[in-house]
Amino acid sequence: EPEVTQTPSHQVTQMGQEVILRCVPISNHLYFYWYRQILGQKVEFLVSFYNNEISEKSEIFDDQFSVERPDGSNFTLKIRSTKLEDSAMYFCASKGTGSYNSPLHFGNGTRLTVT
């Protein structure tokens, strides 16, 4: 079964550094999402992306965050200047168009640790 893959599985960075989290969605999917989950808390929506532009974003997704689909396969989340509170699991998800309401398919996440 096709999967959403995320790299790296674990990223450690210093406060103030830029990080790029990478995702390869399922190949025929057109809707892309980033979610995050702080340890012990619920899964929070960050941003959704369709047709090469952001569809929706949450209040968490401020100017420090950006997303990009640089080619036909990758979908990236960039944090320009990381803060301690950005430490979390970041999940990428994609969604197909075969049916009107196809479910989200999630990757296994990148654990970001900001020190």
Partner 1 sequence: LAKTTQPISMDSYEGQEVNITCSHNNIATNDYITWYQQFPSQGPRFIIQGYKTKVTNEVASLFIPADRKSSTLSLPRVSLSDTAVYYCLVGDGGAGSARQLTFGSGTQLTVLP
Distance CA 31, CA 102 (A): 10
> Which residue of 22, 69, 78, 111 would you call a contact of partner 1, by CB under 8 A?
111
**Quick check: helix, strand or coil at residue 86?**
helix
Residues β-bridged to residue 67:
77
- How far is C-alpha 31 from the geometric centre of its chain's CA atoms? 12
**Shortest reach from residue 5's CB to partner 1, in Å:** 11
State which of positions 10-49 bind partner 1 (CB under 8 A).
31-33, 35, 42-45, 48-49
Nearer to partner 1 by C-beta: 32 or 79? 32
Spatial contact of 21 and 109, defined as CB atoms under 8 Å apart: no
Query: How large is the C-alpha radius of gyration of the chain?
Result: 13
- Taking CB under 8 A as the criterion, the residue among 27, 28, 73, 102 binding partner 1 is 102
d(Cα 73, Cα 64) in Å, to the nearest integer?
Answer: 24
Q: Which is nearer to partner 1, 8 or 16 (CB)?
A: 8
Contacting residues toward partner 1, per CB under 8 A = 4, 31-33, 35, 42-45, 48-50, 55-56, 58, 89, 91, 93, 95, 100-109, 111
